[in-house]
Chain A
């Protein structure tokens, strides 16, 4: 069952062929971005020599630098907010067995089933009344609020498994509850925090619907919205469009290949709770 035989070798070869086929769209993405404009060759053929003109033009015309910077700010502040609020909230939810705590926990869990579309339009009018339309703050607030349920769920289930010994030791040493949580409990939650950071960073970075709605008409964009506008403007100039896609995709793909073990673990982490 666990020996590597000729049969396994053939199966493995088949799987490698499949993996190569799986990579074709990514290869096409990069390949087309380096083709000269007006190239008539197929997506899979190399046009030699490759040209950088599309990348340069896309960077200049698409205002991609500002968009990526915005995406970065929104991602960092949203993830920071989610981690802090969710971790603090989970502590009493996990450690108190009384009725209100259970009720609050299920209240947060209900958020997992509510599609954001339901509250979308009322929330939009609230943001309008607060004059937050077009501002990155509207995105950050929405990201934090909507990602809280899952993060609280992960933190709380993990915390319930955590023995009380550390907290008792801290109490004996004279730590108050706030201090105990920040310097004793929170560091013990490292694994969950990793999962939450990975899932939320990827989710927020790729989010398209919310920034499209909330930033429309303002000068601000995030990376996905900038791509969407750019494609709308340069339809069917594929090398230029793909150059813009490559510029926004490369940072996240590079990060993925560098940290793949942690990122895959983060995505699978939801399973183990």
Chain B
């Protein structure tokens, strides 16, 4: 979940930094450097323990993974040969791998869109004069701290054939709508999305709220005086100023969705059949059956590239908007 803040946060942090710096005088940066006493030094070796840990856990394994995706290494043996792009060819031809790719993209897209729309609406509603707004904020955020597995299990209970959701539909006279939500390949993936959206909408809401609260009152008042209605104020004033929050939220939910594992394991385990297999569940299952090992590493490489491309697009879009 940490991922998102990153790329975009950088942008946001710098933007937030500018006014503060200006307040303290335009030459602060240069003065700082000129005035700096020679003895004031941050020892470079402070970075060594963190760098070593980061290299060990993230950099080296990831580079090895990238190299192995072009080999037939089975995860155990000491020997391996380069096989070119054969593993990637298998990713786009293998039925299971393709299904995992498709499911992951659909799940990430649905969750990103719905969760952010709900989060934004909740934030707009709570950034108001409502007396209960602090209590409501606590309520809507509560599921965020839950273990995702727990959320998954609660929803699989509610969505069971004789569960609360179907009972509610029956009591509303909508018997035709009842079904085995998780057992039906047509609905299982969306049922998982529901659990994720319920759990994390409050997270999006909190980030949008922080963005909304940073918008100066007088900007909105000026727009009102100029005759802008609520709708135009939102589209032309509020939303552009929320840019940083929007980008962080989109990245958080998108990356979270692309890595989705926990709720799938809790609710369907990838089934029925392969209807809800994601890239992460496929990698996990293949890790223990060595024949599929190279393909799952290739899947991970594809996933990395998808995330990198999306992040670059996002970053470009923010830069353009900021100009």
Contacts of A145 in B (CB 8 A): 53-54, 56-58
Complex: chain A residue closest to B146, CB-CB? A249
Distance in angstroms between the alpha carbons of A200 and B2 in the assembled complex = 8
Complex: chain B residue closest to A178, CB-CB? B43
Interface string of A206-235 (1 = CB under 8 A from B): 101100110000000001100110010000
- Given A113, A157, A231, which contacts B308 in the complex, CB threshold below 8 Å? A113
Distance in angstroms between the alpha carbons of A56 and B6 in the assembled complex = 44
Question: How big is chain A's contact interface, by range?
Answer: 35 or more
- Given B1, B155, B279, which contacts A117 in the complex, CB threshold below 8 Å? B279
- Given A4, A16, A96, A142, which contacts B57 in the complex, CB threshold below 8 Å? A142
- Given B131, B147, B307, which contacts A208 in the complex, CB threshold below 8 Å? B147
Q: Does A61 contact B (CB under 8 A)?
A: no
- Determine how close the nearest CB of chain A comes to the CB of B148; give it in whole angstroms: 6
Known A15-B125, A25-B198, A108-B54; contact A177-B150, beta-carbon cutoff 8 A: no
Known A8-B130, A12-B132, A164-B40; contact A89-B47, beta-carbon cutoff 8 A: yes
Contacts of B3 in A (CB 8 A): 112-113, 150
- B46 with A115: CB separation less than 8 A: no
- B40 with A117: CB separation less than 8 A: no
- B6 with A272: CB separation less than 8 A: no
- Determine how close the nearest CB of chain A comes to the CB of B13; give it in whole angstroms: 3
Q: Does B174 contact A (CB under 8 A)?
A: no
- Determine how close the nearest CB of chain B comes to the CB of A91; give it in whole angstroms: 5
- A119 with B64: CB separation less than 8 A: yes
Complex: chain A residue closest to B203, CB-CB? A267
- A115 with B307: CB separation less than 8 A: yes
Q: Does B274 contact A (CB under 8 A)?
A: no
- A122 with B65: CB separation less than 8 A: yes
- B7 with A109: CB separation less than 8 A: yes
Contacts of B241 in A (CB 8 A): none
Residues of chain A in range 112-133 having any CB-CB distance to chain B below 8 Å = 112-126
Total count of chain B residues near the partner, CB < 8 A: 115
Contacts of B136 in A (CB 8 A): 15-16, 19
- A104 with B47: CB separation less than 8 A: yes
Known A142-B57, A227-B147; contact A267-B206, beta-carbon cutoff 8 A: yes
Known A26-B142, A111-B58, A164-B36; contact A268-B157, beta-carbon cutoff 8 A: no
Q: Could you count the A-B residue pairs with CB atoms below 8 Å apart for me: how many are there?
A: 334
- B58 with A209: CB separation less than 8 A: no
Interface string of A23-36 (1 = CB under 8 A from B): 11110110010000
- B207 with A268: CB separation less than 8 A: yes
Contacts of B56 in A (CB 8 A): 141, 145
- Determine how close the nearest CB of chain A comes to the CB of B157; give it in whole angstroms: 6
Contacts of A122 in B (CB 8 A): 60-62, 64-65, 68
Q: Does B110 contact A (CB under 8 A)?
A: no
Complex: chain A residue closest to B148, CB-CB? A206
Interface string of B186-212 (1 = CB under 8 A from A): 000000000000100001001101110
- B164 with A44: CB separation less than 8 A: yes
Q: Does A191 contact B (CB under 8 A)?
A: no
- Determine how close the nearest CB of chain A comes to the CB of B191; give it in whole angstroms: 13
- A202 with B145: CB separation less than 8 A: yes
Q: Does A73 contact B (CB under 8 A)?
A: no
Contacts of A227 in B (CB 8 A): 147, 149-150, 153
Known A28-B154, A271-B207; contact A121-B303, beta-carbon cutoff 8 A: no
Known A92-B42, A119-B62, A208-B262; contact A242-B167, beta-carbon cutoff 8 A: no
- Determine how close the nearest CB of chain A comes to the CB of B198; give it in whole angstroms: 7
Complex: chain B residue closest to A195, CB-CB? B5
- B259 with A271: CB separation less than 8 A: no
- B42 with A22: CB separation less than 8 A: no
What are 16 residue pairs bridging A and B, where the CB atoms are less than 8 Å apart in the complex?
A104-B47, A104-B51, A119-B64, A141-B56, A161-B17, A171-B39, A206-B146, A208-B262, A223-B147, A253-B142, A255-B145, A260-B138, A268-B210, A270-B4, A270-B207, A273-B12
> Other CB < 8 Å A-B pairs besides A92-B43, A157-B13, A171-B37, 5 of them?
A117-B259, A171-B40, A249-B146, A267-B144, A273-B13
